[in-house]
Structure 1
């Protein structure tokens, strides 16, 4: 039997592959559990690199999502080997090249969350915490949000999620949806040079989103994946080469529009989403942040969060 607290990196590749082949790999992301099955050996190898710190428990009777990574069908499976992502036995989108099976899995799971996880408000935002106090970071693609999120995690912030700010409408707290961070193009080398301890998976060249590599979450973030955090600060970051660090307080109505209408299920949840996001904006100051130096931006956000936390405790 495998010990209950065994980490994925501690298993031999052959034993991990056996677990995958019998659909007995459950990933506890915090807010949701995903069961994975696969017979793709290269996928298992890449997976172990970026999910190495995740705990692999004994098989559990329930999972929120049941997924499978499998080979392509027919003649093309031999001429141009492919991977297919299945959710509950259904294939929601076209196959990928087999060598891109890991990013295929990551995008498939993200799609599944966005489509089917509607008990919470899903903000399209990164979320990190110090203690139990969280920063929500929302920005459009190309703004440097994922790179700044990675830098913050590597400088001591607890990662909740890079992609999904999982906001509980009942309690107003943010739950972790802890997955590897997808870095694209130039960000890959930036983070590799930023921290020697960063664990990066393979670089997948020429995917549908350019060159992609995945950054493994830190052990501390994974071990705290069942701990929610209270939103305390909303930030809309933007990277600009050579720019000095600037912060600008945003009016509440502007911050609400930016955050609410960039969520995955705002329209589906309607009034529930409106009230949950309005509560966040009502209780958290929101800032536009422009930066070019990562450590400067990280320390500025750390100081802002500490100041807000101290003010709240003193009130």
Structure 2
């Protein structure tokens, strides 16, 4: 059963009760909330995701709940809970969707050590994965949103899940997180994209989510083999430029953007080494999305 088949009233009831259990491949997450507007947001962003069976193993039990403390409740605050424990400082309830997304990211980054976890956008074309590791503010998510709606299959906007045995990279096709100026930019560039409401005054500025394309959600169980590592940077008023870099440079950037590289020791070193050895590695600067898409189209066509 897909989430949209539950209906909004059914979803609200489940969230207030035992929770709704989403298959965010390769994880199962049970979500609870007593916030009606968060139910609306979840319905909009996750409508095409499957629900897990009631007896399915759940990887992460999370909740976004109104703060029980009178002062926080008076201020309209909500809290993120993981495994029955409050995990973060309360935030305005209007930021509940962002809190849920960041909280799930934290759960995965802190606990899913069966993978080498890379802070990267990952997209697929023709069975080949494009891996774009980058720090916040690089334009990674903006570029990811554009590519995901122009012929590339979205695996992840934030978390690349590298299987260290097979070398395949997995994704979840969860919503794309945009910030500040990238929100109106993508609204104008992708009028067909489905946005959440903008959430101002977060720790990251104004944020909004973009729902993953339906075909990406339908294929989210399919991993891909890395073929390109591209280090993106947005710079104002520069022509798009894709320049080859040494594999050692790509290795260092991947290691710096990994959440658990140090934890895996030699196994992590070998896994990243195999990844860069089998990939073309580039640095990419851009300011205009149409120019950027043309470069990536050429990159994909050159591999066909």
Q: TM-score range by the shorter chain?
A: over 0.9
Per the alignment, do residues 93 and 24 of structure 1 end up closer, same or farther by CA in structure 2, a change over 3 Å counting?
closer
**1:248 paired residue number:** 243
Secondary structure of the 1:270 match is: helix
Which range is displaced more, 62-71 or 220-229? 62-71
Partner of 1:313: none
1:137 positional shift: 0.5
Aligned match of 1:22: 17
CA RMSD in angstroms, aligned pairs only: 1.4
Structure 1 position 195, deviation (Å): 1.3
Partner of residue 296 from structure 2, selected from 294, 301, 305:
301
Comparing 49-58 with 222-231, which one deviates more in the overlay? 49-58
Match of 1:146 in 2: 141
Q: What is the rounded CA distance, in whole Å, between the counterparts of 1:175 and 1:302 in structure 2?
A: 22
Residue 232 of structure 1: CA displacement? Answer: 0.4
Q: Deviations over 1:252-282 (max 9, x none)?
A: 1111111112101011111111111100110
What secondary structure sits across from 1:301 in the alignment?
Answer: helix
TM-score by length of 1: 0.93
Deviation for aligned residue 1:10: 4.4
Given candidates 160, 165, 169, the residue that maps to 2:164 is 169
Structure 1 window deviating more from structure 2 (129-138 vs 26-35): it is 26-35
1:80 counterpart = 2:75: yes
The normalised TM-score by structure 2 is: 0.96
2:44 is the alignment partner of 1:49: yes
* Alpha-carbon distance in 2 for matches of 1:78, 1:282: 53
Between the aligned partners of 1:204 and 1:60, the Cα distance in structure 2 is 35
- For residue 212 of structure 1, what is the aligned residue in structure 2? 207
Partner of 2:221: 226
What are structure 1's unaligned runs of at least 5 residues?
A: 311-315
Contact 1:126 1:164 in 2 (8 A): yes
**Aligned partner (choices 150, 153, 163) of residue 155 of structure 1:** 150
1-structure distance, mates of 2:244, 2:42: 41
Confirm whether residue 236 of structure 1 aligns to residue 216 of structure 2.
no
| Residues in 1 aligned to 2:160 and 2:52: alpha-carbon distance in whole angstroms | 25
Judge conservation of contact 1:235–1:288 (CA < 8 Å) in 2: yes
2: CA distance, partners of 1:130 / 1:200: 24
The offset of 1:11, in angstroms, is 3.8
Pairwise CA distance, 1:92: 1.7
Deviations 1:63-117 (A, max 9, x none): 1111111110221244112111111111121111111111111111111111111
Q: Offset at 1:33? A: 1.4
Give the alignment of 1:29-48 within 5 angstroms.
29-48=24-43
Contact 1:24 1:59 survives alignment (8 Å): no
Counterpart Cα distance in 2 of 1:35 and 1:76 = 28
Pair 1:200-2:208 in alignment:
no
* More displaced 10-residue stretch of structure 1: 290-299 or 62-71: 290-299
